[in-house]
Chain A
Amino acid sequence: MNPAEQNQTETGSFWNDTGRTGIAAWIFSTDHKRIGLLYFYSVLSFFLIAVVLGVLLRIELMAPGRTIMGPQAYNAVFTVHGVLMIFLFIIPGFPGSFGNLIMPIQIGARDVAFPRLNLFSWWLYIVGAAAIVTSLFTGGGPPDTGWTFYVPFSARTGTNVTLAVLGVFIVGFSSILTGVNFITTIHRLRAPGMTWKRLPLFVWSLYATAWVQILATPILGITLVLVIAERVLGAGLFDPGRGGDPIMFQHLFWIYSHPAVYIMILPAMGVVSEIIPVFARKPVFGYNMIAFSSLAIAAAGSLVWGHHMYTSGMSDTAILVFSFLTFIVAIPSAIKVFNWVSTLYKGSISLEAPMLFILSFILLFSIGGLTGLILGAAATDIHVHDTQFVVGHFHYTIFGGAGFTFFGAMHYWLPKFYGRRYAEKPAVIGWALMFVGFNITYFSMMVLGLKGMPRRYYDYLPEFAPLNLTSTIGSWILVGGLVLILVNLFRGLRSGDPVGQNPWGGATLEWSIPTPPPTENFSADPVVTHGPYDFKGAGIP
């Protein structure tokens, strides 16, 4: 699939000769664009495996009692589905793939601050992923604790938690190093004229994300080390019989894992801020507030982890404090939504695939966010905690939010790197199937949760059967749409219509260089004289 053979403008593109041949030209490359594609295909592969696991879960749940698997397998499948989706797809996904592909170009740099460290980050990701995959087939088998690895069960279960958790630790280290790299890059390598106020909002979002990666991920690191210490050394730090407190594990776990969801969503919001101005042909409304709100979300989001623990036995004081703070974090997110909608107002909107994914993001993420308030209010949370309502909530935010944006970004930016594009009609049909299927699948879950169906249970009461069947059928429609857009996209990247330098009419720097980008990105250091959404200033109609 080498576009260099097909497109004549490619002499000097990053696809060309690097002095190495074959796979070595990729896995030893320090070019941020190649590393970005390495990450992209890695995360996408694990995403697809996890989708299959998700489909299997829904088949099991489509009727009460056993359908295709027993309870132990069910526990393992939902655990691995979560671990793969969260640690191997959505957390590394945006920074590793589109962050690497796009951010250096958008700031006018030739590469990141530490290119070799960047490559090392990807290797760590692969080693960690290999450890996780190995844990599924060795020791006591795939972990069955849920991706949250709560003690005491994770300390006692015979499944291969130790190796899986070690793998996650290594992937976390990869995430930390990416954060260090991106912060340094954005501070040090901006081109002349690229002031902080002219940075594309995607870069602002990656900056805020990188801070979360740096400050929160180490807590995950120590938490996972503690789980291994419990299992291997019998340290007894979370064992009530030995003086330990399982709730302390939950604090440590969620101190990372709540900010982690902002690692998942902030870059996605950055992509939304890129795509809306371009497809509405209007500069973004409220640039300063959108940039500021990214930092505010990262900061406020680090204060609220206790909202996962209202029913754990934590003190009432803590419940009060965390509930109050959780409501505050909704504010900067709402600011973004208002500004996006204001950008659309009186814009000249064209509804192509990237825009469709982004517009549906706004709806789906809003539903997810509002249901997050229901969960964030301690009183209502008592009723819905650990029910299917939570599962619906986080799929709306992570899948409907970050996931849909990831697909939008794929359609928006990959043509730039491949020099070819997807076919529009199948993409729209695929999107429509995904949108309809998604809502059927996950809205059903929210209703089920309100009616009282617990999450992570292998079986359920007969009264929940109709909605479970509905949800499963929705999942088939969703996956059908997903397959369609992926096949269409990759076929297009391989042999679709050629794409010029600026197919979408964007004003950010990636659209000012040849398609596909040359290895050095810019022939000379660019001097920036206009803002990222200043179409007139960039000379774009």
Chain B
Amino acid sequence: MTKDAQDNTAHSIGYGKLTAVWLGLLCLTALTVWVSRLDLGIGHVWGSLAIASTKAGLVIAFFMHMRYEGRLLRLLLFVALLTLAIFIGFTFFDVLYR
């Protein structure tokens, strides 16, 4: 199958780029700890989740090479995340409106 030839070539990420991502992740960690010390009330949950999602995005895109993968894999990841969001989100139709 000819599509195999393209799919099987590897993409390599240099040590420098990986280290930069690592530093970014550490900074975001420091940020999220700092934000948690502020007086934000319920904003803490959303703020933490936003920063965590950004960190996750970096890990997935660079450490897990998703940035360099084909459309199929990215679509499938989206489907999985959407499913997760629906499972949790629809449950809140119950939880929030009792």
Contacts and interface: CB of A to CB of B under 8 A. Distances in A.
Interface of A: 187, 192, 211, 215, 219, 247-248, 251, 255, 302-303, 305-306, 309, 313-318, 321-322
B11 interface: no
B34 interface: no
Contact of A251 (B80, B94, B96, B98): B94
Contact of A255 (B1, B72, B87, B98): B87
A306 B97 CA distance: 14
Contact of B94 (A211, A215, A318): A318
Nearest to B72: A187
Given A255-B87, A302-B86, A192 B94 contact: no
B69 to A, nearest CB: 14
B80 A215 contact: yes
A255 B90 CA distance: 10
Contacts of A321: 90, 93
Contacts of B97: 315-318
The 3 closest A-B pairs by CB, nearest first: A315-B97, A318-B94, A317-B97
A303 B93 CA distance: 12
Nearest to A315: B97
Contacts of A306: 90, 93-94
Interface residues of B, number: 15
Interface of B: 1, 72, 79-80, 83, 86-87, 90-91, 93-98
Contact of A317 (B79, B86, B93): B93
Contacts of A303: 86, 90
A500 B79 CA distance: 44
Nearest to B4: A188
Contacts of B98: 313-315
Most buried by A among B1, B90, B96: B90
Nearest to B80: A215
B83 A314 contact: no
B94 A314 contact: yes
B94 A219 contact: no
A302 B98 CA distance: 22
A318 B87 contact: no
A309 B97 CA distance: 15
A305 B1 CA distance: 41
B90 A247 contact: no
A302 B87 CA distance: 8
B6 to A, nearest CB: 13
Contacts of B87: 219, 255
A195 to B, nearest CB: 12
A171 to B, nearest CB: 21
A247 B97 CA distance: 14
Contacts of B72: 187
A294 B6 CA distance: 30
A316 B94 CA distance: 8
A527 to B, nearest CB: 12
Contacts of A192: 1
A321 B93 CA distance: 8
Contacts of B91: 248, 251, 255
Contacts of A219: 87
Contact of A302 (B1, B83, B95): B83
19 contacts: A187-B72, A192-B1, A215-B80, A248-B91, A255-B87, A255-B91, A305-B90, A306-B93, A313-B98, A314-B94, A315-B96, A315-B97, A315-B98, A317-B93, A317-B96, A318-B90, A321-B90, A322-B90, A322-B93
Contacts of B95: 315
Contact of A247 (B1, B79, B94): B94
B89 to A, nearest CB: 10
Most buried by B among A219, A309, A315: A315
B93 A318 contact: yes
A316 B96 CA distance: 11
Most buried by A among B1, B94, B95: B94
Nearest to A189: B1
A306 B76 CA distance: 25
Contact of A215 (B1, B83, B96): B83
